[in-house]
Structure 1
Amino acid sequence: MERHGIRGLILGAAATAALAAPLTGCSDDTTPSGVASAASSIASEAGDALASATAEAGQKFDEFKNGVNAKGDVKVSDVSTDSDGRSAAKVTVTNSTSSSKSYAVQIDFRDRSGNLLDTAVVTVDAVAAGAAKDATVRSNRTLSGDVTAEVARAARN
């Protein structure tokens, strides 16, 4: 039993090194600690990018003075990949009021497991009363895998 445990550990470390080797660039450090360091660095960069995007989304909503919750007025399409390799989705805002309104819409890009990959804000200005208007929201960076988009929040003023 102990032999399988050690064998499994060795095979797991080898597989991790093989899969992570492309991530380490030109580095010759394929030791488990070197691979772990490279993976940690990549995860840290992704986390920093997400934190930056989340902070930027918060700032855009802060600039949208006296906004009223309008999440129910917004629909988002399936995600596609644009010519720059970034994830994109069509946002449709339907103004349910009796006067022209502007909207700020935050879209969260997630993987199929629901993990947050990126967030972006799009503004849709001068949507006529009772009318619908489309805009395109794009991720801040290239996302991989099966990406979905959801309306995180929306405000109108």
Structure 2
Amino acid sequence: MSDGVSEAKSKLLRTRAASAVVGVVMTVVGATALVSCSDDNGDGDASVTPSAPDTASFSGPVPSALSSLGASVKESARAAASSAAASASARASEFEASVSAEVARANRAAEQELKDVDGKGNATADVSLTGKPRAETSGLLAVVVNITNRTDETASYAVQVDFRDADGKVVETRFVGAEDLAPGARATPLAISRKPPEPPLTAEVAKAQRY
């Protein structure tokens, strides 16, 4: 009887020991599988040593390139601002300096002549205005004053051109003249505004005197 009990206990102990061994093996296998999955998918906590970035495709340090680009943009902005800062009055003076001294003298004479003229003068029918492209006047507003001597005698002309804003207010006045025009002859002096391009202005013949 005691031998049977002893043998049964021995079998029970052997069975428990085998189960324990199997459990340990399964645990080791499971842990190995987890580590393998972590390494394959990159989602685990396995430590990975990062590789150095490949800089072979870069032509130079990125900070230096960005710095150069920023400096170039700033320089362009400064150049644009400097160009825009040139006043219309200065540019008008430069443009007028290109005309002959004789034309400049005729314009001064026209201003003096019109000081004593009442009303619009006696020659508005002989004068008309034509716009001139800004590309030909350094961006300035300029009009061609077409003066035609429609009489049968030599005559001189004095013309006042007013520049008005959108409200109809005269913001600038210019004078041009043409001297000793033969009968049927035509002169085309320029009336140039010294105002900035904006706001836009409209030119009109305010006075025209034949003398």
Alignment of 1:2-41 (within 5 A): none
- 2:192 aligns with 138
- 2:148 aligns with 94
Q: Which structure 1 residue ranges, 4+ long, deviate > 6 Å from structure 2?
A: none
**How far is 1:102 from its partner?**
0.9
Q: Relative to structure 1, is the Cα distance of residues 75 and 59 closer, same or farther in structure 2, using a 3 angstrom cutoff?
A: same
Greater relative CO (CA pairs within 8 A, separation 6+): 1
**Structure 1 residues 50-78: Cα deviation after superposition (integer angstroms, max 9, x where no partner):** xxxxxxx86452389xxx61111100113
Q: Relative to structure 1, is the Cα distance of residues 59 and 126 closer, same or farther in structure 2, using a 3 angstrom cutoff?
A: closer
Please tell me the residue identity of whatever aligns with 1:155.
Answer: Q
**How far is 1:116 from its partner?**
1.2
- TM-score of the aligned structures, taking structure 1 as reference length: 0.53
Q: How many Å separate the matches in 2 of 1:148 and 1:79?
A: 13
Q: Relative to structure 1, is the Cα distance of residues 58 and 90 closer, same or farther in structure 2, using a 3 angstrom cutoff?
A: closer
Question: Does 1:106 find its partner at 2:106?
Answer: no
Q: Relative to structure 1, is the Cα distance of residues 79 and 150 closer, same or farther in structure 2, using a 3 angstrom cutoff?
A: farther
Count the aligned residue pairs. 97
Q: Relative to structure 1, is the Cα distance of residues 60 and 139 closer, same or farther in structure 2, using a 3 angstrom cutoff?
A: farther
Q: Which has the higher helix share?
A: 2
Question: Would you say the 8 A contact 1:119–1:140 is kept in 2?
Answer: no
Q: How many Å separate the matches in 1 of 2:173 and 2:197?
A: 11
Q: Relative to structure 1, is the Cα distance of residues 144 and 60 closer, same or farther in structure 2, using a 3 angstrom cutoff?
A: farther
- 2:177 aligns with 123
- 1:73 aligns with 126
SS at match of 2:114: helix
- 1:3 aligns with none
Please tell me the residue identity of whatever aligns with 1:152.
Answer: A
- 2:210 aligns with 156
Please tell me the residue identity of whatever aligns with 2:168.
Answer: G
Q: Which has the higher strand share?
A: 1
- TM-score of the aligned structures, taking structure 2 as reference length: 0.40
- 1:20 aligns with none
Aligned CA-pair RMSD = 2.5
SS at match of 1:69: coil
**Structure 1 residues 93-127: Cα deviation after superposition (integer angstroms, max 9, x where no partner):** 11111111111100001123322121110011122
**How far is 1:142 from its partner?**
3.6
Q: How many Å separate the matches in 1 of 2:113 and 2:193?
A: 15
SS at match of 1:144: coil
Q: Between the two proteins, what is the percent identity of the paired residues? A: 37
Q: How many Å separate the matches in 1 of 2:158 and 2:171?
A: 20
For structure 2, the residue ranges without an aligned partner over 5 or more in a row are 1-109
For structure 1, the residue ranges without an aligned partner over 5 or more in a row are 1-56
- 1:43 aligns with none
